[in-house]
Structure 1
Amino acid sequence: MNTNTNQTAQPDYRKTIGQTTYLVRVHFSETSKETLEDKIKRLLRSEAIQM
C-alpha cells in the first residue's frame, strides 16, 4: 500500500495486530553502496555472531 504523494514513491505498510494498527514507512538511501542482499547477509551474520 503506497500512500505517499512524493515524486519518488516509497512503500508504506499497514499492519494491524489486535486493536493496534502500525504504519511502517520504508526509506532507502539513494547514496548507499550496499545492495539489499549484502545488507541482509550482514544482518544475518551479525545476528549469528551474537547468538
Structure 2
Amino acid sequence: IPKPAFWGGYLIKPQVIEFWQGRPSRLHDRIVYKKADKTSWKIVRLAP
C-alpha cells in the first residue's frame, strides 16, 4: 500500500517482553520472553 511522502514512523524491535496474569488466589503468573537470536525467543517463568 503506497503511503504519502510526509508520513513517518518508528521501527520497534523488542528484546524483552513480560506478560503478567493476575489471579484471585494471588498466585500470579509472570512470563518473560527474551530475544535469543534473530528468529527465536527464550521463555522464562518468573512467578509463582
TM-score, scaled relative to structure 1: 0.33
- Higher share of residues assigned strand: 2
- Structure possessing the higher radius of gyration over alpha carbons: 2
* The structure with more helix, counted as a fraction of residues: 1
